[in-house]
Chain A
């Protein structure tokens, strides 16, 4: 006859084993989903093979510098996929071991949208019927703001970079490190796509106040040369 206290102990241990098994199963599922979201390999752009020499503005946390560096990279011909591929290559550089500006690996840019300047808005046309695919029809909306975005030269464009929340949420926090990421992206687009005059950032299609608590993501950034030499203050 098994004593009563041993039977109670047995069933307690059995319940603990089952609970631990369920917990491990759920954690494994969560980890798989998280890794899957970072390694989304859905083909979006047509394949391309011709490599060309492009300029990447690479940042360094040690001295706060941004340096133009040339890399042979295969890029698509269309401008928007080209901008997206440039930014993905830039972030991939930062994910390499020993990077002077270490960032987490994985897809960073969901998409890049290019809008000709001056920008007009678009609103959903509530009077139109849904399209065959179930989407909504949009109508252009002119801005009444006299300070609305204007091009510096004819053909200037606004680039809207839609970042992935997985990239933004894992980005290191700090004024320097966040500013360098934005400057690096802006400088790389400026060096390779001069028709882009202004740049805005979204995160998963929504506006966000800061990148990781510091660098402003609400403002429109002018596209310009962002290379910064290592700091050497003037002599007193």
Chain B
């Protein structure tokens, strides 16, 4: 039997956790406090309006078709998964990101990376670790045509492509929640996923397509995919072999050239026909 004291303490902890779930307004500080600090600069606050007023729509989002964001996952103390005795995920993702960056730059893209060395820290503040929300903030500020979150695993084979699990919304709304900002871009993310899948299939790279909830993909305001690199076969060492990584990177870089002209920002049905304010209802 478990000691009575530990059972009581566990029950109290579960009750507190349930209470925090039940009241989302009292959510964990990691979700609530980090979001405003790292989210893209919001448009000017709307004028005060009564509930009868429609919410004003923001100006169209600049959409830079020549910018690609690469996020080599993990870094620093966070090693990610252990691929083998001597290989950890953070090193594989960084190496793969460097190869991809070179190939994309050769094709005329401007590449933004959330980290370009082992330590994942905020730019200019080497002692401040980079949080997942910080990574999303870097991506959203760049307004890229594609955001690729790079991961690696020893399980499975080939490349695993994941889009957000959020349900697609018809268009961007003013002040969309930080944790569901990707909802307006899910349709574009799925199109990007389809484009990359076709290119990888043509190149005979084993493929897994699915949807997953991997932070910070749900907070990105760009066509975003989680790209998980798995071994070419049963041999995990292929993950650090330059030939295999180079092959996959070339396929992805080429597919992104075609994607560059196909990407479309999410619909903004309200922005085309803004509703004039109801002056009579102003206080």
Contacts and interface: CB of A to CB of B under 8 A. Distances in A.
A123 interface: yes
A49 interface: no
Given A121-B19, A143-B25, A136 B12 contact: yes
B157 A221 contact: no
Contact of A218 (B28, B156, B226): B28
Contacts, number: 167
Given A115-B18, A176-B228, A204-B10, A233 B25 contact: no
B21 interface: yes
B119 interface: no
B212 A215 contact: yes
Contacts of B16: 205
A62 B157 contact: yes
Interface string A30-63: 0000000000001000000000000000000111
A173 B14 contact: no
Nearest to A175: B228
B154 A233 contact: no
A64 B23 CA distance: 35
B201 to A, nearest CB: 5
A177 interface: yes
A16 B74 CA distance: 42
B61 interface: no
B84 interface: no
Interface string A117-139: 00111111000000000111010
B106 interface: no
Interface stretch (A71-79, A82-90, A144-152): A144-152
A213 interface: yes
Residue among A136, A145, A202, A213 with max Cβ neighbours from chain B (10 Å): A213
B20 A207 contact: yes
Given A202-B14, A231-B207, A179 B212 contact: yes
Contacts of A200: 21
A176 B155 contact: yes
Contacts of B230: 176
B11 interface: yes
Interface in A183-222: 200, 202, 204-207, 209-210, 212-216, 218-221
10 contacts: A62-B156, A121-B23, A122-B19, A135-B11, A175-B160, A179-B213, A205-B13, A207-B28, A209-B215, A216-B214
Interface of A: 42, 61-64, 111, 113, 115, 119-124, 134-136, 138, 141, 143-145, 147-149, 158, 160, 162, 172-177, 179, 182, 200, 202, 204-207, 209-210, 212-216, 218-221, 228, 231, 233-236
Given A113-B18, A231-B207, A233-B200, 20 more contacts: A62-B156, A136-B12, A143-B23, A145-B24, A147-B177, A160-B18, A162-B14, A172-B81, A173-B89, A173-B153, A174-B153, A175-B151, A176-B156, A202-B14, A206-B13, A210-B215, A213-B81, A219-B179, A221-B213, A231-B210
